Amino acid sequence: MAILDVYLDIPDDYVKSIQDIYKMIVVLGVVQLLIYYSKPSKDFFLQAFTQIPMNDSFMTIIIYFMIGIIAYYLVAEKILMIH
C-alpha cells in the first residue's frame, strides 16, 4: 500500500519503463544530494576513477549509490506506486 497509487491504462512494458525511470530519478537525486552536502574536493570524480582501485573516493561513490538504492526501496517505492 502506497500513499499515491497511479493506475495507467498502458501495456505492462511501458509501466515497467516508467517505474525504472522513477527509480533512476530517485537514486540519482539522493546521490546528488549526498555529494552536494559532503562538499567533496574539486577533483572528486577524477580521483575516484583514475587513481588506485578501491580508493576512498571510489568507495564513497559506491556507498552513496547504495544509500540511493536503499532510499528508493524503503521510502520512495512506498510513496508512489505505478501500476
Judge if pTM exceeds 0.95.
Answer: no
Query: Each residue of 67-76: pLDDT tens digit?
Result: 999 999 999 9
Bigger pLDDT: 1 vs 4: 4
Q: What is the full DSSP assignment across 26-61?
A: HHHHHHHHHHHHH---TTHHHHHHHSSTT-HHHHHH
Note down the domain range covering 70: 4-82
Query: At which residue does the C-alpha cell 497511479 appear?
Result: 6
**Distance from the Cα of residue 62 to its chain's centroid:** 11
Number of compact structural domains in the chain = 1
Q: Which amino acid is at 80?
A: L
